Structure formats: structure tokens, C-alpha cells
Amino acid sequence: MAELHTSYYTIYVDLPQDSSRILLVHGYTGAFDMVSTKVGTYLRGNEVHRAPKPLYGAWTPDPDLPLESISLGDNTIDALRRRGYLTDLSFDDEVSQFRHIADIRHQQALDRSNFVFMPTYDCNLRCFYCFQDHLRTDPANGHLLGLMTKPVIDRIFRGIEDIESRNSPRTGPRNFGLFGGEPLLRANRPAIEYIVGKAQAMGPMTMWAISNATELEAYADLLGPEAISSVQITLDGPLAEHDKRRIHTDGTGSFAAIARNIDLALDTGVSVQVRMNIDRVNIDQLPTLARVMHEHGWAGRSGFVAYTYPIHAVNAATERSTTFSQWDLDVAIDRLREEHPEMAVIDRPDERLRRAARQLFNEGGEPHLRAEYCSAHSGMYIFDAFGDIYACWERTGEQRLRIGRVDASGKARMNLPLVEDWRSRSVATVNACTHCRYALHCGGGCAVLAEGKRGTLHANYCDGFANRFRAMVAEAFLDHEAGVVFDDVRQTIAAS
């Protein structure tokens, strides 16, 4: 039997201002365990393949304990082995084990389909950072700005049945989404009503929408648990700041209409996720926006979530120097929270990580390990107004990138090489990810952003994940230990 040594996939989470303990996390067994510094030092000293330097910051220095003087009891050694922290596998064998687990997780995700309707590429706002800006400003794309018709909707629903017939048997309600452009324009009402009715007729389902909410009042009777039950809405600051960023085609602002429609959605029992796209220009407006949320009575209401996300320089109108990395935005919001307690209503980008870890500490069970970053690499089918099918909503509108098309008979004709390109991306197929102990907690990062930096979808996009993960897990554990009241884990549409 080979000699036991520390698993390459062991993660060390140092606890702020506590040098006596270390929280261990294992990258593919999913184990979370609190150990003494002595045990942590023993594991670090028995690494055959040394832990890489953290992408941001540094590990807490190990105490000055001579390794030869550290011995652990048989029970401790056995526990560390059972939890995965000690192993007799070679590095290559561990990588194979990691890939095997990632492949299983990825196959499970591939079996879960969700269907997104894009009734139009048109939008009534002109936001400078929009990744679809070229679809509405380039005259060559004018043909894309029409509205999905009822015959096309019928065709797409037959296509959904065709897709489902080829996949594993469905379990649970179907998942439908509405995206654009702006899907909930007043002019789109007939198409949306028809889509909702067809979806309901298929059986149990959930339906969400990503909307600018400027004309949401036109859909008041379609909002609720049995129809459109969840809406993601964007506010980019309080009124004055927001109205400089999210403007109508005539230059007027949109804040007042959106605020009214957030009230409307919450009153109908709809879950509302308010997303704030943040850069270095508007971040200082967040405390004021938090106060606005309290004044409107949104903070604390059932179903209301407000979260931040960094703007990425995805078009020529976005100045890269004004953007944040996700980690830098986490840190910046932490600083604002220290000065402005009302900011507690606004989640950091990585709040999902903290909540998932906190739920694990509180309730036990298995951690959420994922082999892919988002549903573009598993079971998402996005149908545009012409029956074209895409895997990722940031890659819609270009026929050369479509993964399929629903033909006149309702059959989904798939471009198998492109389907394979999107659906095969997982942490088991991106080489850098197979050697990363964080990969099954991260999913490999956004493929589109990876492609922008590396020229291929099959590259990693880390965005400081190692530091983000350790910071959120440490915070979650200390909150758990201190008995801080925990609210339920909240998911956002953007994480689907």
C-alpha cells in the first residue's frame, strides 16, 4: 500500500483572528471539517504536490512547529483519510478521480433541461454596457427586431417536446424563462400571454423573466405563482444615477416606472431579484439606493432580494478601467457596509457562496458541487423569435453561433458540433480546472468571458475565485458559530 500523503485537492480556509484552528474543505469529496492548527500544519507538511499560491493575498503563515515533532493519533489519521484529506493516490490518479466525479455531476446537469423564450431582440432602453447593443444600433441587424408570432411559438413548443423525447425522462416541473431584448414590452403582451398559456397547458411548470420592468404593469394579471413567478429587475443606483445609465431611446430615465412596478410585482406575490450592475462610477451611490429600498418598504419583504454584479467591458462603450473584478467588488461593498449599516439589504456578488456554506453548517447535508458554471453547458435551450436555438443568451442573434433551429414541422434540428462545443465544457474538460482544488465549487467560470481573454470557450475564467471562496466560507462559519440569525439561501436567476 502506498504511503498516505495530503490530497492535492485539500483547501485550507484560515479564520480571521484565530490562529488555533483551520477549516478544511475538500475539492471533490465535498467535506468541510474544522481542525486544530496542529492538524492543518501536519497536512500542509505532508503535501507531495504543494498548494499553489492563492491568486489574491496569502495563506496565513504556518506556526513554527517542526514537522518531525507532529504526530497524530490513529483515529485522527483514519478520519482524515475517510474525509479525503489524506490519500494514497498518486497525483495522476487523483486527477482521474476528480474527473470521474465531475463527469457524474455534469451528466446529472445535462439531464435537467430549461427552456428560454426570446420574443424579441428589441428593447426600449439603451444601456451603455449592454452586451446586445450591436443588435439594436447596427442597421445590419434590423431584421432581428421583430416579434415572435403565434405560429413560431407553436413550432417551438413542438420543438420542446422533440428535445424532451431525446433526453432522459423529465422529473419535476418544467422550467421556462423569458429573456430579450426586453421580453415584457407592452407590445409583446399577446405573444407572452400565448407562451404562458401554452406552458401551463404542458403541466406543472415554473416561469421566470429577466426584465427592465419599465412596462411590467401591462402584465399584472400574468404575475404570480401560477404564471410568471419570478422577475429579475435592474436598478443601477438611486433615481439620478440610474436615469443616467438606463435610459429610454428618447433619453428619458426609467427609475420611477421601475420602482412602481417592483411594488406591483411584490404585491402579486412574485419573487423579485433586483440586480445592480456596478462599476467604479456608481458604487458610491449604493448606500443611497439602500435607503431608497428601505423607504419603499422592499427591504425585508418576502421574495425580495437585491444583489450586485460587476460590469464587464464587453463592448467599446465600456471603459475597462472603470470596472471591478468580482473579488474587488466584494471587498468594496464590505467597506461600504462597515460605514452604512443600511447596506445590509444589498448582497455582495458572492453572497450565494456564503449562504450555501452557512446552510451547510446549519443543516448539514451535501455541499453543492457543480461541474459547469451555468446552464449554457448543460440543459439550456434559448429560442429566439425565428425559431433559432442558442445555448447562451450572450451569444444570441448570430446564426453561425446557433446550436439548432426548430423547423416548420416542429422538429429541433441541432448543429451537433456546436452543441458538443457548448455542452462538453465542464471542469473535467478544461485542463486548468482539472488541476484546481476549487473547480467543483466554481464550475470553471463564465465561458464567454474566458473566450474574450483566451480565445476559446474551453478555458478557465477564475476572477479571483479562490480568495472569494475562502473569504465567504470563513465568514459563514464564524456567523454560524456566533449564532448570527440566518435567513434562507436565496438564488438568483443569473445563477441558473
In a domain, 102, yes or no: no
Q: What is the pLDDT of residue 67?
A: 58
202 and 161 together in one domain = yes
pLDDT (average), residues 124-150: 84
263 and 385 together in one domain = yes
In a domain, 282, yes or no: yes
21 and 118 together in one domain = no
In a domain, 105, yes or no: no
The domain that holds 334 is classified in CATH as 3.20.20.70
Q: What is the pLDDT of residue 24?
A: 96
**27, 54, 89 — which closes off a domain?**
89
pLDDT (average), residues 330-340: 94
Give residue 485's pLDDT band: very low, low, confident or very high (50, 70, 90). confident
In a domain, 94, yes or no: no
332 and 457 together in one domain = yes
Q: Mean of the per-residue pLDDT values for the chain? A: 91
Q: What is the pLDDT of residue 493?
A: 45
Q: What is the pLDDT of residue 53?
A: 57
- Domain enclosing residue 54, as ranges: 5-89
Name which of 70-74, 295-299, 312-316, 318-322 the model is least confident about. 312-316
| Structure confidence by residue, pLDDT tens digits, 9-22 | 999 999 998 989 99
Residues of the chain above pLDDT 90, percent: 75
Q: Residue 66: is its pLDDT beyond 70?
A: no
pLDDT (average), residues 400-422: 96
| Structure confidence by residue, pLDDT tens digits, 82-131 | 999 999 999 999 999 999 999 999 999 998 999 999 999 999 999 888 88
292 and 179 together in one domain = yes
451 and 483 together in one domain = yes
**42, 58, 89 — which closes off a domain?**
89
Q: What is the pLDDT of residue 54?
A: 52
149 and 81 together in one domain = no
- pTM here is 0.91
| Structure confidence by residue, pLDDT tens digits, 340-397 | 999 999 999 999 899 999 989 988 878 889 999 999 999 999 999 999 999 999 999 8
303 and 408 together in one domain = yes
Give residue 494's pLDDT band: very low, low, confident or very high (50, 70, 90). very low
Which is higher by pLDDT, 150 or 19? 150
In a domain, 458, yes or no: yes
Q: Could you give the number of structural domains in the chain?
A: 2
Q: What is the pLDDT of residue 476?
A: 94
| Structure confidence by residue, pLDDT tens digits, 251-282 | 999 999 999 999 999 999 999 999 999 999 99
Which is higher by pLDDT, 487 or 435? 435
Q: Residue 133: is its pLDDT beyond 90?
A: no
In a domain, 15, yes or no: yes
In a domain, 139, yes or no: yes
Q: What is the pLDDT of residue 58?
A: 53
State the Cα torsion 401-492-122-132 to the nearest 10°: -50
322 and 386 together in one domain = yes
Q: Residue 491: is its pLDDT beyond 70?
A: no
| Structure confidence by residue, pLDDT tens digits, 163-208 | 999 887 888 899 999 999 999 999 999 999 999 999 999 999 999 9
